[in-house]
Structure 1
Amino acid sequence: MPMKPLTAWFHSRGWRDLLIAIPYAWLVVFFLLPFLIVLAMSFATQTPTAPPFSFGGEHPVMNPRGYLRLIGDPLYLRAFITSLSNAAIATFFCLLIGYPMALALTRVSRSWRNILLMLVILPFWTSFLLRVYAWMGLMGRNSWFNGMLTDAWNFLTPGSWAMQSIPMMHSNFAVILVTVYTYLPFMILPLYASLERLDPLLDEAAMDLGSRPSQVFRDVTLPQSVPGIIAGAMLVFIPAAGEMVIPTLVGNPASPMIGRLISDEFAQVRDWPMASTIAVVLLVLMVGPTMLYSRYQQKAEAAGEEAEGRT
């Protein structure tokens, strides 16, 4: 007796299709549907009800007030510029610090490599809020860290520039410093994964041909590690641009970042349509780099396959 079509499909390719469908279902339930809800909410009208928005009135379908306000109010433009610039600076310093660390991880022995990798991920074993509060204590006016930097500043500068303490808290400097500390492992790990796959024989061949170590790094190691640089930069830049906790605790209230602005619009102002508008625009800005990276990856993989086919 022949099997039913559904049973035949399940035995032939059902498990494979089911496993493939699970991540798509996850994305639909936990990304697409929430995004559509936030997108619809961005076109709603603020009301003194619960929830504080509704559809109807002068704009029964879509109310573009939030998007028009986003363009016309300098507060939101300044918040976007501050968020993107702070995230870009933090990403740059994460790359500047993380690249030598990732490269060093590939040059040590296996036993030391495992220990050093554990030290890289060790901060994740501590509460994120606890680490931010620790930095708040370090940057305080009466902390030993601030005192040490103040003494160094007073020693290196003229007496007329002397200070009792360096004002670090509630500034963009504090936001960038804590962001670099927090997201540095997200830069190191992709760089390490990219650098570990490189063939050391290429470096040795370049040196045998007369290249200096700096030339080997510039012409051989650095170009091959570009995918790791891009991946690490995205893993740092995207969450740093939307960061809310760090700017709230150590940032300047007069120059808020976009994550804090979204939180304030939701919780304090209770303007959910405006908060949704900001979130949608921020998401669109973050999707752009992600799509560029995916396109770059596809081109790199196609070029690699083509090169392997020629050989």
Structure 2
Amino acid sequence: MAHRPPTLSERVRALLRGRTLVIGTPFVWLLVFFLLPFLIVLRISFAEMDGAMVSDLFTFANDELYMKLKLQNYLSILSDDLYWSTYLQSLLYAGATTAICLAIGYPFAYFMARAPSTVQPLLLMGVMLPFWTSFLLRVYAWKGLLDADTGWIGTLLKAVHADALLLPLGLISAEGQFMYTPFSLLLGMVYTYLPFMILPLYGTLSKLDLRLLEAAQDLGATPWQAFWRITVPLSKGGIIAGAMLVFIPCVGEYVIPELLGGPETLMIGRVLWDEFFSNNDWPMASSVAVTMVLLIIVPLAIFNRNQSQEARK
């Protein structure tokens, strides 16, 4: 018996099933591992501590359902300078880390993309190599490397009088004091998150059509003009992706400020830890976390909306 070819309606249903599976799987993942945990944290932020437990938002008594929302935590964030200063400091350090990673990562990614095809896998492995070692161990190693007396990097910085440049900039607190300063914090964050900037840039630059650069040179553009007018605009997607991959985790970073930072480098991750585990105030910590997420997501959502509107024009 000859096999009957599928009808048009059967093909449409099969296509929809495939699209539903492909599109639905990431949505289910985000729902289970992002939205639901965020809603739990949001719920705790409106509650209050009842001994060692968190109070319920809904109570049922006398055939009536009551909802009790505590707004004091969010009002405290608005009125307490500690939270605003740590939020601002976290954004500043995250922004500085992103800018430094872009300044270092773009030339490196450009060199990788222009390197011979036989060398590119070796360079890519060099970027990925730090991931083979524990993140905590890599950060902790900088404590010994930056010591001005025993660490070879600290000794080198002291020998070349780098502190004479870092001290006026406020990156270190005293001559020869490279640890527990903004300098050590930025160094650790740049070292940790630099690969997250290089990889998206390399993926974008490696796909760039070199014939566009040749055409620009034929029209009289200098290499520098061709770079700024063609290469940089066409790599905009990689720049944005790398900036997001670096900036977002840097804002809530806890381990690096704890190990390499000092009292003047207090970031919001440390405040969250103190509220959760030192003060045992889960509602206040949840309020801080929700505010931090909103400070990141809302600007990104506005930016993506503007990008989508520009793309439609």
Stretches of structure 2 lacking an aligned partner (at least 5 in a row): 1-9, 60-65, 166-172
Match of 1:46 among 39, 49, 57: 49
Deviations 1:123-170 (A, max 9, x none): 11110001001111111232121111111118979xxxxx99621222
Residues in 2 aligned to 1:23 and 1:154: alpha-carbon distance in whole angstroms: 48
Post-superposition offset of 1:173: 1.7
Match of 1:151 among 151, 156, 159: 159
Secondary structure at 1:110 match in 2: coil
Match of 2:29 among 23, 26, 34: 26
Match of 1:212 among 210, 217, 222: 222
Show the counterpart of 2:100.
93
Deviations 1:167-202 (A, max 9, x none): 122222211111000000111111111112211011
Residues in 2 aligned to 1:197 and 1:168: alpha-carbon distance in whole angstroms: 40
Post-superposition offset of 1:246: 0.6
Match of 2:156, as an amino acid?
M
Match of 1:177, as an amino acid?
L
Higher-helix-fraction structure: 1
Match of 2:76 among 50, 66, 69: 69
Stretches of structure 1 lacking an aligned partner (at least 5 in a row): 1-7, 158-162, 304-311
Secondary structure at 2:68 match in 1: coil
Secondary structure at 1:71 match in 2: helix
Task: Report the more deviating stretch, 124-133 or 226-235.
Answer: 226-235
1:44–1:53 Cα contact (<8 Å) kept: yes
Residues in 1 aligned to 2:239 and 2:310: alpha-carbon distance in whole angstroms: 14
Residue 270 (structure 1) aligned with residue 280 (structure 2): yes
Give the direction of change, closer, same or farther, for the CA distance of 1:137–1:232 in structure 2 (3 Å limit).
same
Task: Report the more deviating stretch, 113-122 or 189-198.
Answer: 189-198
Show the counterpart of 1:3.
none
Show the counterpart of 1:184.
194
1:141–1:165 Cα contact (<8 Å) kept: no
Post-superposition offset of 1:263: 1.3
Secondary structure at 1:298 match in 2: helix
Show the counterpart of 2:88.
81
Match of 2:146, as an amino acid?
M
Match of 1:21, as an amino acid?
G
**Among the aligned pairs, what percent are the same residue?**
45
TM-score by length of 2: 0.84
- CA RMSD in angstroms, aligned pairs only: 2.6
Secondary structure at 2:125 match in 1: helix
